[in-house]
Amino acid sequence: MVAGHLREKRGYFHIVLSYTDENGKRQTPSKTTGLPVKGNKKRAEAMLMEARQSKELELKKLQEEKEAKENDTPQNPNPQDEAKIPFTTFMLDWLEMMKPNLDKPTYASYSFCIKSKIVVYFDEFFPGLALCDLTPKHIQDYYTYEMKERKVSANTVIHRHANIHKALKYAVKIGLINSNPSDRIERPKKEKFVGSIYNQEELEQLFEVVKGDPIELAVILGAFYGLRRSEVVGLKWNAIDFKQKTITIRHTVTQVTLDGKSQIIQKDRTKTKSSYRSLPLIPPFEELLYRLKAQQEMNRKMCGKGYCNDFREYIYVNEIGELIKPGYITQHFPLVLKKNGLRKIRFHDLRHSCASLLYANGVSLKEIQEWLGHSDIGTTSNIYTHLDYSNKVSSANAILPCYPQTLRAEPIGQ
């Protein structure tokens, strides 16, 4: 079987084939399509398919000629030759092997990392590098290149390392290599996340400017309930109990890009078991839901057959019934802030703002963990350690009288 993929190099598409020739050796020839990257992906993909089919016919003919000349049954290839498979080919083969075991968002993440980053780098700088010849320095050089030349964050490189390490661990397991070279590299130090948050006054301004805007529902759910973007878009009407006054987070909608195409993934489950949670339905939000429900009914009548009924169970839909995509929130939110002169933050920072206000009003980290749906309190504590600063100030002021007068002119923080 002839495998292959497209590689972008110097603004043009190149075809990279991968196959075992008639002598049992791995070959990875590369050939330019002559097509510029912009606007030519479908034509390049067609040329790739044609090249693969042509090579398969050529190999089949060569194999038939070889078998015709031989009297005995062809010998099995030396198992050690398998280790001579190019590293990039092995990574692509491993990715395909993992595909059935991964959900789509995870597979999309793996695919983007391996096909668009790892394979592209090694094909350009170390073309044809065999799996058995891969050294820790090759991997270390790749991480250095990503951070210095492409300005990729340390956390992103750590994610790339996770893919490489896992794949090479499998190579060791099946006997292709004796040891995992990624075990002997220095990973970059993980960067500690510090979120940007809105205070109560800024949130009040935000609530005011988004009234009537399509982003209003997302802002309220993000800032008050601390919902993730996938939980906002995934919210369904059956998750709202108007009698018991509760809202249950149990559905998600995510958006992924797979092989250059955007896909919407709907799930009747949350990110983790702890993310499944019930929260109180506050009066202002309940009123907004009633308004949205009435508006949707009116839109359905006005649009008639033109109304999309595929997403009737979802709350967050547009005027013609189409589901609001997660990408819309990410793109539209900063535009609203800029238009109204509000400080720039990410939409996900509303979740951090929610946690900050909860803590400021006496809610414990354990309760915040349950409100946000973190799997363990360690996650909550690591992200919101800075919220403990007020307690540290109180501790400092308590011990201050024990020190000489010169050290306690006035309490700390005043």
> What is the full per-residue pLDDT of the chain (414 aa) written as tens digits?
677 888 888 888 888 888 887 777 788 888 888 888 888 888 888 888 888 888 888 888 887 777 776 655 444 445 455 658 999 999 999 999 999 998 888 999 999 999 999 999 999 999 999 999 999 999 999 999 999 999 999 999 999 999 999 999 999 999 999 999 999 999 888 877 666 889 889 999 999 999 989 999 999 999 999 999 999 999 999 999 999 999 999 999 998 888 778 888 888 877 677 788 999 998 888 999 999 999 999 999 999 999 999 999 999 999 999 999 999 999 999 999 999 999 999 999 998 888 888 887 888 888 888 888 887 666 666 666 555 555 545 545 555 455 555 444 454 444
Query: Count of CB atoms within 10 A of residue 200's CB?
Result: 12
DSSP 316: -
Strand (E) positions, 21-165? 26-27, 30-36
Contact by Cβ (8 Å): 274, 375:
yes
Contact by Cβ (8 Å): 311, 333:
no
CA 171: distance to chain centroid?
25
Tokens representing residue 24 in the block: 């049992």
Q: How many helices and strands, by DSSP H and E, does the chain display?
A: 15, 9
Q: Name 17's bridge partners.
A: 4
Query: Count of CB atoms within 10 A of residue 259's CB?
Result: 11
- Return all residues near 70 (Cβ < 8 A) that are at least 6 apart: none
Whole-angstrom CA distances from 61 to 22, 55, 57 are 10, 10, 6
Whether the model pTM is above 0.75: no
- Listing DSSP states for 246-264 in one string gives EEEE--EEEEEEETTEEEE
- Return all residues near 13 (Cβ < 8 A) that are at least 6 apart: 6, 7, 32, 33, 35, 36, 37, 40, 41, 44, 47
Buried b (16+ CB within 10 A) or exposed e, 27-53: bbeeeebebeeeebeeebbebbeebbe
H or E element at residue 16: strand 12-20
